[in-house]
């Protein structure tokens, strides 16, 4: 029996929201500490303002997607345990350890598939899109992975009878445990290099140097790479160059999330080979039909050390405004996730759509997209319509009696500011 399971807003567990409320301030604090330490040690080059802001915007999109819970799962983990478990264990500390190892094993193989197959690379490209390597880039997580393969590699854990509630509890802990090693400011860590994934290991993983490409796929325990032949030590004479082989040259995380998928659709449409129209989705990452590759070549980085990073020239005023807009959007998002229980399904999706459009508009302005003002105008119109249709800004009068009128003024002002910058920032 196959179960198709689609989580929606109403099923979002309270503990996840609580976890976010704890994790987000911790992550932001660590980013600030990294920035401060980099400045103090004259290593400020590891952090660029707009790249960091793009990463933070990507983090917002991922939180919103997770809260919405838009994931299609074939055969839920709970169903596997309930119907196929070979053992029935009582909860114990050892069981949590076994479950954590099982999650890490599954994570390695899902990660490896993401790096190996064209279609699944689109699930992961956003995480590698930053041309820097710092704590902020860890927040670049996918919103395009609507189909989960994790359950396949959790089958051994399910057969052992590890309860679903233990896996559910450990999953966010396992994810958050991968945050700390996204940094260039921590060197090699002695004997720990043989046990866990370290910053040195993960610098290799994010590099596009031919020596490092698609290596160190483990998430917590480095042992999987050593067992399955994907381990590579960081070499002193090969400094990592970060990003993706086909540069995306955008700060917009929503565009980046679907860029590879869009390319696959275009290539499948353009190729004259019927076979290639189907197999392109399952070929190794980066593969293109021969006729399409010849007729429609795309930029690829062959010499990483000579590549000029994407960084359009923005005035200090525009950079400041971008950070202000991000802070406002962040506040919107925190209000959204903490008041989700008040919202109907329709209200939840409308609010989430507004947040996605906000991020799209902001990062389009950072890219100096000539029609970014249109995106901002659409965002502002949606925001004002929400106030008039719902009578207020999503039950905000409970907290702030003047918030709706203030937001109307803000939306009008924001649209005008966007137009101003696009007129004055032309190169």
Q: How far apart are CA 158 and CA 78, in angstroms?
A: 8
Region 56-78: what's the mean pLDDT? 79
Sequence-ordered list of residues with C-beta below 8 angstroms from that of 388, at least 6 positions apart, any chain = none
Tens digit of each residue's pLDDT (9 = 90 or more) over 251-292: 999 999 999 999 999 999 999 999 999 999 999 999 999 999
CB-neighbour burial class of residue 127 (10 A; exposed 0-12, middle 13-18, buried 19+): buried
**Encoded tokens for 156:** 């051994």
Distances in Å between the Cα of 48 and the Cα atoms of 19, 125, 152, 294, 311 are 28, 20, 39, 36, 9
- Stated length of the chain: 427
Within a 10 A sphere around the Cβ of 390, how many other Cβ atoms?
15
Q: How far apart are CA 93 and CA 35, in angstroms?
A: 37
Least confident range of 133-142, 167-176, 240-249, 367-376:
167-176
For residue 11, the model assigns a pLDDT of 45
Are 189 and 271 found together in one domain?
no
Least confident range of 43-52, 74-83, 279-288, 407-416:
74-83
Evaluate whether residue 212 is within a structural domain.
Answer: yes
Are 200 and 296 found together in one domain?
no
Tens digit of each residue's pLDDT (9 = 90 or more) over 185-210: 999 999 999 999 999 999 999 999 99
Residue among 385, 376, 425 nearest 408 (CA): 385
Are 274 and 360 found together in one domain?
no
Domain count, the chain: 3
In sequence order, which ranges of 70-194 are alpha helices (DSSP H)?
77-84, 93-116, 118-121, 125-128, 150-153, 155-159, 164-176
Q: How far apart are CA 19 and CA 304, in angstroms?
A: 39
Q: How far apart are CA 223 and CA 195, in angstroms?
A: 7
Percent of the chain past pLDDT 70, that is, above it, reads 94
Evaluate whether residue 254 is within a structural domain.
Answer: no
Residue among 252, 253, 261, 249 nearest 301 (CA): 249
Determine the structural domain holding residue 381 and report its residue range: 316-424
Are 170 and 218 found together in one domain?
yes
Region 338-352: what's the mean pLDDT? 88
Identify the H or E element spanning 16.
helix 14-40
Pairing label, strands 72-74, 4-6: antiparallel
Mean pLDDT over each residue of the chain, to the nearest integer: 90
Which of 306, 335, 369 finishes a domain? Answer: 306
Sequence-ordered list of residues with C-beta below 8 angstroms from that of 242, at least 6 positions apart, any chain = 128, 130, 131, 132, 133, 206, 207, 208
Q: How far apart are CA 94 and CA 96, in angstroms?
A: 5
For residue 261, the model assigns a pLDDT of 95
Evaluate whether residue 191 is within a structural domain.
Answer: yes
Using the 8-state DSSP alphabet, how is residue 5 labeled? E
Tens digit of each residue's pLDDT (9 = 90 or more) over 10-64: 444 566 778 888 888 999 999 999 999 999 988 878 889 999 999 999 999 999 8
Which of 271, 306, 341 finishes a domain? Answer: 306
Are 292 and 211 found together in one domain?
no
Distances in Å between the Cα of 139 and the Cα atoms of 55, 106, 180, 360 are 6, 21, 11, 17
Are 348 and 408 found together in one domain?
yes
Task: Kindly compute the dihedral angle of the four CA atoms of residues 174, 176, 181, 186, in this order, to the nearest 10 degrees.
Answer: -130
Are 23 and 130 found together in one domain?
yes
Evaluate whether residue 210 is within a structural domain.
Answer: yes
Are 286 and 368 found together in one domain?
no
Identify the H or E element spanning 4.
strand 4-6
For residue 14, the model assigns a pLDDT of 67
Evaluate whether residue 65 is within a structural domain.
Answer: yes
- Quickly count helices (H) and strands (E) in the chain: 18, 2
Residue among 373, 351, 388 nearest 424 (CA): 373
CB-neighbour burial class of residue 361 (10 A; exposed 0-12, middle 13-18, buried 19+): buried
For residue 345, the model assigns a pLDDT of 82
DSSP line for 293-308: HHHS-----S-GGGPP
Are 206 and 163 found together in one domain?
yes
Are 47 and 108 found together in one domain?
yes
Are 35 and 175 found together in one domain?
yes
Which of 239, 272, 306 finishes a domain? Answer: 306
Distances in Å between the Cα of 41 and the Cα atoms of 46, 136, 139, 265 are 11, 19, 24, 46
Evaluate whether residue 235 is within a structural domain.
Answer: no
Evaluate whether residue 233 is within a structural domain.
Answer: no
Are 158 and 179 found together in one domain?
yes
When pLDDT is cut at 50, 70 and 90, the band that residue 75 belongs to is: low
Query: Model pTM?
Result: 0.91
pLDDT at residue 121 is higher than 90: yes
408-426 b/e (C-beta count within 10 Å ≥ 16 → b):
beebeebbebbeebbeeee
Residue pair 315/425 in contact by the 8 Å Cβ criterion:
yes
Q: What is the chain's Cα-based Rg? A: 23
Give the position of tokens 């976010």. Answer: 20
Evaluate whether residue 249 is within a structural domain.
Answer: no
């Amino acid at each position: 029996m196959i179960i198709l399971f689609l989580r929606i807003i109403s099923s979002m567990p309270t503990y996840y929201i609580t976890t976010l409320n704890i994790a987000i301030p911790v992550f932001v604090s660590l980013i600030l500490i990294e920035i401060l330490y980099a400045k103090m040690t004259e290593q400020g080059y590891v952090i660029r303002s707009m790249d960091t802001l793009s990463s933070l915007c990507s983090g917002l999109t991922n939180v919103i997607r997770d809260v919405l819970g838009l994931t299609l799962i074939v055969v839920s983990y709970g169903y596997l345990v309930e119907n196929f478990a070979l053992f029935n264990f009582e909860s114990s500390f050892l069981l949590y350890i076994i479950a954590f190892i099982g999650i890490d094993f599954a994570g390695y193989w899902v990660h490896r598939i993401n790096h190996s197959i064209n279609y699944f690379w689109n699930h992961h490209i956003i995480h590698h899109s930053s041309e820097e390597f710092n704590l902020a880039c860890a927040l670049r997580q996918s919103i395009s992975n609507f189909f989960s393969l994790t359950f396949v590699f959790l089958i051994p854990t399910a057969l052992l009878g590890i309860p679903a509630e233990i896996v559910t509890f450990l999953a966010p802990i396992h994810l958050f445990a991968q945050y700390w090693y996204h940094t260039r400011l921590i060197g090699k860590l002695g004997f720990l290099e043989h046990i866990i994934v370290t910053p040195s290991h993960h610098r290799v993983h994010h590099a596009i140097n031919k020596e490092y490409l698609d290596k160190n796929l483990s998430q917590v325990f480095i042992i999987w790479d050593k067992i399955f032949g994907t381990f590579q030590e960081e070499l002193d004479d090969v400094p990592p160059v970060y990003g993706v082989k086909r540069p995306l040259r955008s700060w917009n995380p929503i565009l980046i999330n679907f860029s590879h998928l869009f390319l696959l659709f275009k290539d499948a449409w353009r190729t004259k080979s019927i076979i290639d129209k189907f197999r392109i989705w399952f070929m190794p990452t980066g593969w293109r039909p021969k006729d399409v590759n010849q007729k429609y070549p795309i930029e690829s980085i062959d010499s990483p050390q000579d590549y000029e990073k994407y960084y359009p020239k923005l005035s200090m005023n525009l950079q400041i405004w971008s950070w202000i807009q991000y802070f406002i959007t962040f506040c919107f998002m925190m209000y959204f996730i903490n008041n989700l229980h008040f919202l109907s399904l329709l209200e939840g999706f409308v609010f989430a759509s507004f947040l996605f459009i906000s991020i799209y508009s902001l990062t389009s302005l950072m890219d100096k997209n000539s029609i970014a003002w249109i995106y901002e105008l659409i965002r502002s119109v949606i925001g004002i319509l929400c106030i008039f249709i719902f009578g207020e800004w999503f039950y905000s009068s409970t907290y702030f009696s003047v918030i709706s009128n203030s937001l109307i003024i803000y939306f009008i002002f924001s649209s005008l500011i966007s137009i101003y910058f696009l007129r004055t920032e032309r190169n």
